[in-house]
Amino acid sequence: MKKVVLRSAVVACVTVAAVTGCYSDKGAGAKMSNGCEPSVVVKPFGKTKDGQLVQQYTLTGAGGVVMDVIDYGGKVVRLYTPDRTGAKTDITLGFNSVSGYETQDPYFGSLIGRYGNRIANGKFMLDGKTYTLPTNNSPGDLPCSLHGGNKGFDAYVWHSEPLSEGKSVGIKFTMTSPDGDQGYPGKLDVTVCYWLSPANVWRIEYEAVTDKATPVNLTQHLYFNFKGEAEGTILDHELTLFADQMTPVTKGLIPTGKIVPVKGTPFDFTTPWQIGARINADNEQLRFGGGYDHNWVLNNRSGKLAPAAALYEKTTGRYMEVWTTEPAIQFYCGNFLTDKVPSKKPGRNLCHRGGLALETQHSPDSPNQPDFPSTILRPGAVYKTVTEYRFGAK
Ligand code: GAL
């Protein structure tokens, strides 16, 4: 295990074992104390099938949250947060090996780009020219391009370096997506920083610049289960979405272009609702999604950081707020997950709806939807968004 020299003198270079008892990888229920010494520790995670070395960073936050992140797709492999008694559990879905991600990955914990979510038929028109993308997904037998195509940003090994500032620690990821990558125009230079603060906030800062106009819609696809990875479904989690409207979809999970109020429907999460409470309602949208797999238009569309969602699980007390500068959020409740997907826990598998994702972004298919906020980045402009996942327990 390599010790990482951080730029700030405030953050000690320590190995995981030396972190004052904050972190011990004993699995669910291990105790986590507050007031940890923040650190970043790097060690090899494995190799891609084409032989690239994949590094794992362990970020230990001063508030006690610990995350293991790999430079392959910027994936969060493990995320330990305290419950209301201070016991920590890994609350995210992932795999213990690179090959797990390469063979059967539902985008667990990944950075998603160049375009998070779907583009209808893998086609869009920009400045009079039609572009064709790989159609790597076809819900309802209607092909679309999903999460950047056949090789999205989740499948790149990113350049990475540790960060520190005050008592926060982090990782800076950079990569260049070449002109024509997956059919998209322009060379796109992308920087994503993950920060873990003493207040147990995981802050993600996205930046990109291009040399030709191109759609950009970056997001993070972490799956949460506050009871712990492979500990049943998320149907009992209580969700709040700060969104009075959503974008209904076709059976291909492509927005129809309408933006409709959620009031009086199973999509109204403006007050906390158990995810399972209305999921089987007689509702065409729920049938198309196989449950919740939709995009909500956030009430805050100012571009300033504001609450988008809150999630609570009452047996553990785990609570999280999602804040973002983005105008929309995809809530996906793991409808495509099955018990064929292995867990990180030996001998165990996941289950249908064993995790949920809250993906901050612009709405799906925006390049083909004139009434949605634009996702087109032009040369000279800088794409900049911020999302925070704020962890706690009550
Ligand atoms: C989500 C999407 C789902 C599914 C999932 C990956 O972002 O909304 O429909 O494709 O990614 O399995």
DSSP string, 362-375: SPTTGGG-TTSPP-
Phi-psi region of 273 (alpha: psi -120 to 50; beta: other; left: phi over 0): beta
> Is 359 one of the annotated active-site residues of the chain?
yes
pTM to 2 decimals?
0.93
Q: Distances from the Cα of 348 to the Cαs of 29, 92, 182, in angstroms?
A: 18, 15, 35
**Among 75, 108, 110, 293, which residue has the most ligand 1 atoms within 8 Å of its CB, making it the best to mutate?**
293
Quick one: DSSP state of residue 298? Answer: P
**pLDDT for position 104:** 81
**339-376 residues labelled b (16+ CB within 10 A) or e (exposed):** eebbbbbeeeebbbbbbbbbbbbbbbbbbbbeebeebb
**pLDDT for position 34:** 53
Please work out whether the CB of residue 336 comes within 6 Å of at least one atom of ligand 1.
yes
Please work out whether the CB of residue 124 comes within 6 Å of at least one atom of ligand 1.
no
Please work out whether the CB of residue 332 comes within 6 Å of at least one atom of ligand 1.
yes
Residues 6+ apart with CB under 8 A from 29: 87, 89
DSSP 334-392: -TT--TTSBPSSTT-B--TT--EEEEEESPTTGGG-TTSPP-EE-TT--EEEEEEEEEE
Beta bridge partners, 115, equal 217
Centre of ligand 1 to C-alpha 294, Å, is 9
Atom of ligand 1 nearest to the CA of 117: 7
Residues 6+ apart with CB under 8 A from 236: 274, 275, 276, 313, 314, 315
Atom 6 of ligand 1: nearest residue by CA position: 106
Q: Which residue among 229, 321, 359, 388 is the active-site one? A: 359
Residues 6+ apart with CB under 8 A from 50: none
Output the CA torsion sign for 33, 39, 44, 46.
Answer: positive
**pLDDT for position 31:** 40
Upstream peptide bond of 203 is cis (omega within 30 degrees of 0)? no
Please work out whether the CB of residue 151 comes within 6 Å of at least one atom of ligand 1.
no
Atom of ligand 1 nearest to the CA of 112: 7
Centre of ligand 1 to C-alpha 53, Å, is 27
**pLDDT for position 260:** 98
CB 292 within 8 Å of CB 329: no
What stretch of H or E contains 101?
helix 98-104
Please work out whether the CB of residue 216 comes within 6 Å of at least one atom of ligand 1.
no
Centre of ligand 1 to C-alpha 110, Å, is 12
Give the Cα separation of 327 and 334 in Å (integer).
22
71 CB-side CA count, 13 A: 25
Beta bridge partners, 239, equal 273, 311
Centre of ligand 1 to C-alpha 365, Å, is 14
Neighbours of 390 (CB within 10 A): 17
Atom of ligand 1 nearest to the CA of 139: 9
Give the Cα separation of 329 and 234 in Å (integer).
18
Q: Distances from the Cα of 304 to the Cαs of 216, 259, 296, in angstroms?
A: 19, 21, 17
Please work out whether the CB of residue 330 comes within 6 Å of at least one atom of ligand 1.
yes
Helix (H, G, I), strand (E, B) or coil at 45: strand
Please work out whether the CB of residue 107 comes within 6 Å of at least one atom of ligand 1.
yes
Centre of ligand 1 to C-alpha 286, Å, is 14
Atom of ligand 1 nearest to the CA of 330: 8
**Among 101, 104, 147, which residue has the most ligand 1 atoms within 8 Å of its CB, making it the best to mutate?**
147
Quick one: DSSP state of residue 6? Answer: P
Atom of ligand 1 nearest to the CA of 146: 10
Residues of the chain with pLDDT under 50: 1-33
Give the Cα separation of 82 and 193 in Å (integer).
23
